[in-house]
Structure 1
Amino acid sequence: MSVVGIDVGFQNCYIAVARSGGIETIANEYSDRCTPACVSLASKNRMIGNAAKSQIITNFKNTVHGFKKFHGRAFDDPFIQAEKPKLPYSLHKLANGNTGIKVRYLDEDKAFTVEQITGMLLTKLKETSESALKKPVVDCVISVPSFFTDAERRSVFDATQIAGLNCLRLINDTTAVALAYGIYKQDLPTPEERPRNVVFVDMGHSSFQVSITAFNKGKLKVLATAFDLYLGGRNFDETLVDYFCEEFKGKYKLNVRDNPRALLRLHQECEKLKKLMSANSSDLPLNIECFMNDIDVSSRMNRMQFEDMCAQYLMRVEMPLKAALEQSKLSRDDIYGVEIVGGATRMPAIKERIAKFFGKDISTTLNADEAVARGCALQCAILSPAFKVREFSITDVVPFPITLRWKSPTEDGLGECEVFSKNHAAPFSKVITFHKKEPFDLEAFYSCPQELPYPDHRIGCFSVHNVVPQPDGDSSKVKVKVRVNVHGIFSVSSASLIEKQKGEGEDMQIDSEPMVQNEGRGEEQFLWCYCIFVCFSSQRQMIIQDKLVKELNDAKNAVEEYVYDLRDKLCGMYEKYVTEEDSNRLTLMLEDTENWLYEDGEDQPKQVYEEKLEGLKDERYLHLVAEEMNTVEKCVNESMGWMNSKMNAQSKFAITQDPVVKVADIIAKIQELENVCNPVINRPKPTVEEAPEVNDQNSGAHNGPTAKQAAEGKGDVKGSQQTKPGTKEMEVD
């Protein structure tokens, strides 16, 4: 069993695996270490990753990308409504009010949930891991932005289950980076010494995250986090796109925004130009052939001009840095170092502002693209029992304060208490003692809606049942356990009633059936499990469909490859050994097959292509079984090896010395080769005789197929294959 860490980014994904030799980033089937977060659906199958990215222009309505921020969000969410006009594909309001993605798949209009699309992507990443490791992959740790709320984290976790993964932890991006940084440091201060404080800055394609982390030997503790949800590399791309849209409108009379394909191409070219400007300060060209209406477009841009255009975004870089520093209650002098990761941090202007704010040089010792995935893999290895890894404890934080509100049916007014403050340690459990005479309800919500990057501040509602007064009529003590778990998800995990035992003055906790449940939990739990099961089953069916299409394409490609290969050999290595008549016959046969492939054979069943390939191949040896051919091949290889060894040895001898091999040895070896090979390769094909017609009255019962049936493969019966945190107590009246 292998364990992997997955960085699911807005634009690209990375997979890292823990091996005995350390952490390794896995390459996909394209030998690329990054896999685009892209899913393309078509009339017969799906394409995911690199193959899907190649469809962004040609199949833009059904190629889904940039969906990471749709997790857990309602369709009417202002953020979703703001994103809709920018997307080449369609969003759809689902029955439960959530955001769905509408595409055409298998010639039908279908709406997929964000969890399903993410599940498709995770399934692809899982297959990539298994292909590279040659073993099953189940356990994983997956990264999420530090600002993800409870609903968003639950949505990502559901996607992992649809993909058949066992997610051991959802870890914050910057926390994963901190782990990748700290676990290999041998010079960290001991627990008794003053910790080493390091700032981690992660600016990716869609967001900007900052965390300040304190390190001691064998542990890290996140002190504070801050973010800008809407600041990332794509802001700078869109600035370039806006500029060139206006320029091309005046220069070429082209309205780029009216043409989705042209707009997507411009986005791609602007992203390339931005990367080039990060490494070059001179004027750089932008050229796109046949951009719109068969018109070629061109322009120029330099770094200084670009930075002036992006001034409004560059000014926002300091705000999260300042917020994190203030929350950590540290000064700039307390900061040991600043580590930056994420593709957008390669921009010189971003680096300059970060370095200027902290008054020290920034460090780029971590891989800007792969650090998050590597940290995820390390955390997965630590959590998995299959690996023995140096102990390294992680204490993260609660990004937003959480309040618990309660009410009893007969009580007037509401009570509430902030159970987790901003930047409170996590994972963490607390036990709250209530004094109640009857069942009551609990509501959890984020305390500061105005600071929340999410429109709904509610987390969940919970009901505490079976609460009764004490025998003497006094209120009973009810202990309720609340928790933020390793995934950063809040829950009311348990509730228990404390009552006085008769005749004794001590309290005793009564362990009984769970007294707490999520509001409507029975039905909701059933529906949730059912939905996950349906999505998982649908995912399996889509995988099977993809596999069938791949096998069909492979069979078709095998015919095409054979045609091209034999044609090359007829004009090359076989030319001297083939008569003109045979060459013309074979060439004509190959031309007919090629024409068939692009006409009637364009869309045929797999079996048709297999039969076509068999018809093309030389039939002289088709009657030989595989074992016989292997015997011949082995004998030929051994004889070739014997000959080469003798020739090598002879080359070292002078011509006056006795040879290492004599004519008799060569003749004996030839005879040995012929004795093995000739009986096989010279055995003629079995002749097929027409069976005499026999009246049914005289024929009797047949015990098997006739000779003709046997030769044609009729009458055969062929088998088939199926295919640990701290705890606090709080007392509330």
Structure 2
Amino acid sequence: MKRHATSCNWSMCFPLCELQEQTVGQLALKAISAGCLSAAIAMVTEEDNTLRSVIGIDLGTSSNRVGVYMNGHVEIIPSDEGNRTMPSWVAFTGSETLIGEAAKNQAAVNAQRTVFDVKRLIGREFEDKEVQRIMKLVPYKIVNKGGKPYIQVEIEDEETKAFSPEEISAIIVTKMKKTAEAFLGKKITDAVVPVPTYYNDNQRQATKDACLLAGLNSVRIIDKPMAVAYAYGLHEYGLHEAAPEKNFLIFDVVGDGTFDVSILEIGYGVFMYRASTHLGGEDLNQRILEYLIKNKHEKDVSVDLVKLRIEAEHANRAFSSRVDDLSEPLIFEEVYSSLLMGLVNKAMEDAGLEKHQIDDIILVGGSSNIPKVQLLLRDYFNGKVEPKKSVNPDEAVAIGAAVEGDLLMKPQHSAMC
């Protein structure tokens, strides 16, 4: 590759004609000979970065997206089927391993060998309440291996194998990595992967391990609200030391019945959390269950609680999947409205902010298409703040991760780890 005229520091070391005609390797050697080591390093770094691409991966509970920053914007890379998302499903048929749409489409006839919702298991202990709850809801077998939950499936006739959640996730990440490589026409070794703010160290490390198992060498784990902020370009605003402080409330329906509310303070060179709270899917399921018992059966406590619990799960999934016309409309009024606004109220209290101090609300995920959620937020802030969804809410996390990936290749940012 030939080096063209540039305004970088090393242009001061050599005549313009040399910069135009010499390769990077030749110029770097000359820079070292001239005692200009920093210029040599800068040359090689810039050359390496022109060849590298850092992908952004939204590794979701039910679906995944992968994006890359190129030509001044983020491209969401389509799956083999041409979709902008890939289901988080893996299936073993005996002759092959199916991933994404192919796995999901055959689940009905191969239920015990089709794995999904693995993100709920990653980084947890086998005795974790969430793991024990999930075991009752999925058709595949979860076993205890060294105190960790493993997915045991029959990979071939009469041959079973136990996979860790990280290994199943790695299969999904490998597929996305290969899809990105085919799209870009080059090898991918680096990625930025956002995770929920409530993830503990074990869950963060397990997510990173899954990516490393997939063949990625460098993985940066960031919080999802930060990725959303990058997607909206808030990092550019925050870098200006003269920019006044602004508070952004990010409301996220994660997709598995879990809700997150985060408040970011950005401005005067500051980019920080004021508060972050979340409400787990099981908390909502329990409240819906109590509602169903109270309103459908009044004092009859001998009702089949298993059936009601399943109905509660379905109602919660329907809500977080953007279905506005629930089979039980009052569930929203009596359960969701109080819980969700309680979540917002707690975040506001934790941040020590008054309602008028919130400058913008950003909706992410399924919440963006639920009119009642938007109305609740408008009313809570007295109609003075209109919820934003100018960036595709379902793609904001992947977009932000890809933007961060591009920033990481720039000299002023720290190296990936």
| Aligned pairs for 1:445-594 within 5 A | none
What do residues 312-334 of structure 1 show as CA deviations (whole Å, max 9, x unaligned)? 23321012212221122221111
- Structure (1 or 2) with the larger CA radius of gyration: 1
Counterpart-to-counterpart distance in 2, 1:319 and 1:31: 40
| Aligned pairs for 1:55-134 within 5 A | 55-94=106-145, 96-107=146-157, 108-134=159-185
SS in 1 for 2:250: strand
Q: Tell me which residue corresponds to 2:357.
A: 334
Which residue identity does 2:265 align to in structure 1? A
Which residue identity does 2:89 align to in structure 1? C
Q: Does 1:322 align with 2:345?
A: yes
**Partner residue of 1:14 out of 62, 65, 73:** 65
Q: Does 1:379 align with 2:404?
A: yes
How many pairs were matched up? 345
Superposed displacement of residue 269, structure 1: 12
Counterpart-to-counterpart distance in 1, 2:321 and 2:127: 35
Counterpart-to-counterpart distance in 1, 2:319 and 2:260: 24
Q: Tell me which residue corresponds to 1:143.
A: 194
What do residues 117-160 of structure 1 show as CA deviations (whole Å, max 9, x unaligned)? 01111101101111111111111001111000011111111111
Which residue identity does 2:331 align to in structure 1? M
**Partner residue of 2:336 out of 307, 313, 317:** 313
Superposed displacement of residue 208, structure 1: 1.1
**Partner residue of 1:157 out of 208, 233, 247:** 208
Counterpart-to-counterpart distance in 2, 1:203 and 1:81: 23
SS in 2 for 1:327: helix
What do residues 197-244 of structure 1 show as CA deviations (whole Å, max 9, x unaligned)? 111111121221111112227652222211112279x969x98xx99x
Superposed displacement of residue 309, structure 1: 2.9
SS in 1 for 2:393: coil
Superposed displacement of residue 190, structure 1: 4.2
Counterpart-to-counterpart distance in 2, 1:228 and 1:12: 20
CA contact (8 A) 1:168 1:383 kept: no
Q: Matched residues, percent identical?
A: 28
Counterpart-to-counterpart distance in 2, 1:221 and 1:152: 22
What are structure 2's unaligned runs of at least 5 residues?
1-51, 297-303
CA contact (8 A) 1:198 1:212 kept: yes
Which residue identity does 2:328 align to in structure 1? F
CA contact (8 A) 1:218 1:392 kept: no
Q: Tell me which residue corresponds to 1:34.
A: 85
Q: Does 1:200 align with 2:256?
A: no
CA contact (8 A) 2:76 2:399 kept: yes
**1:182–1:235 CA distance, 2 compared to 1 (3 A):** farther
| Aligned pairs for 1:635-654 within 5 A | none
**1:268–1:62 CA distance, 2 compared to 1 (3 A):** farther
Superposed displacement of residue 100, structure 1: 0.4
CA contact (8 A) 1:11 1:65 kept: yes
Q: Tell me which residue corresponds to 1:229.
A: 280
What are structure 1's unaligned runs of at least 5 residues?
247-254, 279-301, 394-484, 488-733
**1:45–1:269 CA distance, 2 compared to 1 (3 A):** farther
| Aligned pairs for 1:353-502 within 5 A | 353-359=376-382, 360-384=385-409, 387=410
What do residues 547-583 of structure 1 show as CA deviations (whole Å, max 9, x unaligned)? xxxxxxxxxxxxxxxxxxxxxxxxxxxxxxxxxxxxx
CA contact (8 A) 2:285 2:316 kept: no
Counterpart-to-counterpart distance in 2, 1:103 and 1:358: 50
Counterpart-to-counterpart distance in 2, 1:275 and 1:56: 20
CA contact (8 A) 2:368 2:389 kept: no
SS in 2 for 1:86: coil
Superposed displacement of residue 101, structure 1: 0.4
Counterpart-to-counterpart distance in 2, 1:274 and 1:321: 17
Q: Does 1:348 align with 2:371?
A: yes
SS in 2 for 1:14: strand
Quick one: higher RCO (CA 8 Å, sep 6+), 1 or 2?
2
SS in 2 for 1:317: helix
**1:155–1:190 CA distance, 2 compared to 1 (3 A):** closer
Which residue identity does 1:159 align to in structure 2? A
Q: Provide the TM-score with structure 2 as the length reference.
A: 0.74
Superposed displacement of residue 38, structure 1: 0.8
CA contact (8 A) 2:247 2:266 kept: yes
Which residue identity does 1:10 align to in structure 2? T
Q: Tell me which residue corresponds to 1:509.
A: none
CA contact (8 A) 1:196 1:336 kept: yes
CA contact (8 A) 1:340 1:364 kept: yes
**1:14–1:231 CA distance, 2 compared to 1 (3 A):** farther
Superposed displacement of residue 268, structure 1: 9.6
Counterpart-to-counterpart distance in 1, 2:322 and 2:74: 30
Q: Tell me which residue corresponds to 2:31.
A: none
**1:189–1:42 CA distance, 2 compared to 1 (3 A):** closer
